Every structure is written in structure tokens, then in C-alpha cells.
Amino acid sequence: MTTLEQASAEIALLHEQIELWFRGDASADAIDAMTACFADGFRMVTIRGDQLDRDDTHSLFARLHGARPGVVITIDHVAVRVERPDGWLVTYRETQRMIDGSSNQRLSVAWLQPVHHGRPRWSFLQETALA
């Protein structure tokens, strides 16, 4: 499997988990499986510029359980911008479509660390809102 295929699969899997979580279709304990892919030193910059660590991100997800019924999340334009033995810098576009027909898009940049067995680990994520 190529790096692009691995990165695309991981990004799609995480966002499938997030979609189920936001819809309220995931059980309460699914949050642990969802956030397990974040490295201990994980950092995230949200579309509002908030800087979150792994625990902050877990708390954010906990508040959003069931907050967006019917949301559909799609991922496209995945690209590997830098590939090194210790990780991959990837970009992708995320679109969230709400049940009322509204939507939002964001361009994301992430650093993923490959692992020998299992899912890549997310070390960094920055989201930028698109108009």
C-alpha cells in the first residue's frame, strides 16, 4: 500500500468515526477508540485558531456527541506533501453537510506518524475554514 493510500485510508476512517460521533450514532465509549489514533503529544489548531492538546481534543469531542444529527462528512483532495521515515505531511479538504442543507468546508494539514502494526498516529492537525 502506498503512503497516499495509507494516509487516505486513515483520514477516511477517522472522519467516519467523527461523523458517527457527531450524529450521535456511536456509543459513548466510541470516543476512546476515536481519539486513540492521536499521539500523546498531539496538537490541533482549530478553524477558530484555538490550540488544543490531546486531552482538550477529547473534551471537545465529548461535548459534540450527538450535536450534529444527520451530518455527512466527505473527504477529498488528499495529498502527501512530505514523506519521511518518521512521518507524512498530508493535506485534505473536509466538507460537513448538515441535515438542514447548510455546509462548511475546511482545508486541513496533518502530520501522521506511520506505525509498524495498526493505524498511523496523528501528531498535528491544523484546520482552515474555506469560504
Domain interval for residue 123: 3-130
> 55: domain CATH number?
3.10.450.50
47 phi/psi in degrees, rounded to 5: -65, -20
pTM over 0.75, yes/no? yes
Task: Give 91-128 pLDDT, tens digit per residue.
Answer: 999 999 999 999 999 999 999 999 878 899 999 999 99
Positive or negative, the CA dihedral 118, 34, 77, 127 is negative
In single-letter form, the type of residue at position 90 comes to V
Which residues are CB-contacts of 8 (< 8 A; sequence separation ≥ 6)? 75, 78
> Residue 46 burial (CB < 10 Å; 0-12/13-18/19+)?
middle
> For the chain, what is the domain count?
1
